[in-house]
Amino acid sequence: MTHNANTSPRRKTDRDEVFLEYTRSVCPLCKTVVDAQANIRDGKVYLRKRCKEHGTFEALVYGDADAYVASARFNKPGTLPLAFQTEVRDGCPTDCGLCPEHKQHACLGIIEVNSDCNLDCPICFADSGHQSDGFSLTLDQVEKMLDTYVTAEGEPEVVMFSGGEPSIHRNILDFIDAARTRPIANVVLNTNGIRLATDRRFAPALAERDVIVYLQFDGFDRATHLAIRGRDLREVKQRALDACAAAGLRVMLAAAIERDLNDHELGAIVRHGLQQPAVRGVVLQPVTHSGRHLEFDPLTRLTNSDVIQALAAQLPELLRPDDFFPVPCCFPTCRSISYLLTDGRDTVPLTRLVSLEDHLDYIANRALPDPGLRGALEKLWSASAFPGTATTSTQLDCATCGIDLPKALREVADKAFMLVVQDFQDPYTLNARTLMKCCVEMLTPDGRIIPFCAYNSVGYREQVREQLTGVPVADVVPNARELQLLLRPSPHGSKNARDHGDHS
């Protein structure tokens, strides 16, 4: 073949993205397990996957590619649980759980005691509300779930009672008492606060049981409340906070954050929390797009790095982006935490007092830090850390010993204010690589411990709900027959399920 001098040679062109990793995910429509890849484009990380039936999907998973890549140095080794509950058969994410291939134990166990709620929120990953076909757990079921948790963990750090709205369950105090009779360090109630605001006996009853309150708190604008909760709850939230303060309860404010809805209120939520005597911290969670959610664009969804940048911009006098560090116990892109030391007047980020890079960097070849301080910081940067608990107070005392603090901040045990940015995966963003390090787990009545993001993304929630209510999964999930085959439970009590020793 001769070359035509009048024809310009074709030139190869570069892709507009950098390939980062190959993984597995699910189709957000039928939940079929599919191959996926993470790519960097325009300084952001996107997850792309293709379902044979429904085509190609792409979603933004991290708004800062440099931070995403840099976080890998915080990926510390996981800890094996004392027991697994399922076998390895088809691979992640269909063998939950926990199966012997899971890379982390449960830092936080969640029990959904009901599917009923006194709200019908437009945003609800659990799809809860006023329902005629929901479920309500019995004390016997909850006790068996707690025993499974103790068997797997020995002395679990945290159990959280959730729902639905757990406070409306007639046996919620019995459930808390059951947890308190077991070697579980901390008990948390996840609530919308309506009962706290209206039942004057409820907050004291929780205080008697040393319960930490995880209070929904999405912002201050009426439009925010109507869009997220379907009802203006601003007065209810404040009455709930006042009741908690009067009873001496510790509270974490938990905000569901949606882009262009309430992301402008991040700084105001933190400021409000700092001013409330009962509040020990704020958890900012980009909305999980499973269950019920508003219309959204997967390519412009809010991510952890976006929340951190916005928070620093709205609170320049308090925070910088580098005051947040990835949590080492889970996959480091899932959760970032900062601690503020405050006496109500002066506020200092712990990161300004302790060089965390010297103590949490597991890759760089540096001289090992003081073992006590390193252990303290590892415990602080954990999914099981809740401010105001005995464990956290002890670790804070250790972490700040020898540091010349302002006089008003020297007694740090009661001065710690935690800031958490937590992005849970959904069917659009599920990454099996990330999921395998998950340390937030759902406890189920059939004896499984299932990673939270898998529970909400893969079809486990629908499966468990069918088991509890008898309502066919086909009524709520497409491709139901395939799901039932994929998620069939492993025989409980098999050799694999009993002891991890044969697989470690």
Q: Which residue has the higher pLDDT, 372 or 243?
A: 243
pLDDT score, position 314: 97
Question: Residue 75, SS3?
Answer: coil
Tens of pLDDT along 78-118? Answer: 889 999 999 999 899 999 989 999 999 998 999 999 999 99
Do 369 and 405 lie in one domain? The reply is: yes
Do 249 and 393 lie in one domain? The reply is: yes
Quick one: pLDDT band at residue 327, thresholds 50, 70, 90?
confident
User: Concatenated DSSP letters for 343-387?
Assistant: SSS-EEEGGGTS-HHHHH-SSS------HHHHHHHHHHSSTT--T
Which pairing describes strands 33-41 and 18-26: parallel, antiparallel, or unpaired?
A: antiparallel
Distance from C-alpha of 25 to C-alpha of 15, rounded to nearest angstrom? 23
Please name every residue paired with 401 in a beta bridge, in sequence order, or none if there are none: none
Do 253 and 376 lie in one domain? The reply is: yes
**Across 362-369, average pLDDT:** 39
pLDDT score, position 290: 80
pLDDT score, position 3: 57
- The answer to whether 292 and 123 have CB atoms below 8 angstroms apart is yes
Do 30 and 159 lie in one domain? The reply is: no
Residue 97 lies in a domain: no
Residue 12 lies in a domain: no
Q: Where is the domain boundary, 432, 454, 488? A: 432
In this structure, is the dihedral angle defined by the CA atoms of residues 329, 335, 340 and 344, taken in order, positive or negative? Answer: negative
Do 128 and 189 lie in one domain? The reply is: yes
Residue 1 lies in a domain: no
Do 350 and 404 lie in one domain? The reply is: yes
- At 108, phi and psi to the nearest 5? -140, 120
**Across 458-484, average pLDDT:** 69
Residue 460 lies in a domain: yes
Residue 3 lies in a domain: no
Tokens at 4, concatenated: 């035509």
Q: For position 367, which CATH number holds?
A: 3.20.20.70
Do 209 and 294 lie in one domain? The reply is: yes
Do 416 and 437 lie in one domain? The reply is: no
- The answer to whether 165 and 117 have CB atoms below 8 angstroms apart is yes
Q: Where is the domain boundary, 381, 403, 432? A: 432
pLDDT score, position 371: 52
Do 213 and 317 lie in one domain? The reply is: yes
Q: For the chain, what is the domain count?
A: 2
Do 181 and 305 lie in one domain? The reply is: yes
Distance from C-alpha of 128 to C-alpha of 268, rounded to nearest angstrom? 28
User: Concatenated DSSP letters for 167-185?
Assistant: GGSTTHHHHHHHHHTTT-S
Tens of pLDDT along 432-451? Answer: 999 999 989 999 999 999 99
Do 168 and 229 lie in one domain? The reply is: yes
- The answer to whether 113 and 164 have CB atoms below 8 angstroms apart is yes
SS3 of 414-437: the string is: HCEEEEEEECCCCCCCCCHHHHCC
pLDDT score, position 374: 59
Domain housing 70? 18-74+433-502
Beta strands in 273-361 (DSSP E): 279-286, 325-326, 335-342, 347-349
Q: Where is the domain boundary, 432, 461, 493? A: 432
State yes or no: pLDDT of 29 exceeds 70: yes
Distance from C-alpha of 301 to C-alpha of 305, rounded to nearest angstrom? 11
Nearest to 463 by CA among 441, 490, 483, 449: 483
State yes or no: pLDDT of 250 exceeds 70: yes
**Across 237-263, average pLDDT:** 95
- The answer to whether 497 and 84 have CB atoms below 8 angstroms apart is yes
Residue with tokens 């405050």: 342
Tens of pLDDT along 135-190? Answer: 999 999 999 999 999 999 999 989 999 999 999 999 999 999 999 999 999 999 99
**Would residue 493 be called left, alpha or beta, if left means φ above 0 and alpha means ψ between -120 and 50 degrees?**
left
**Across 373-397, average pLDDT:** 67
Q: How many residues does the chain have?
A: 504
Do 362 and 442 lie in one domain? The reply is: no
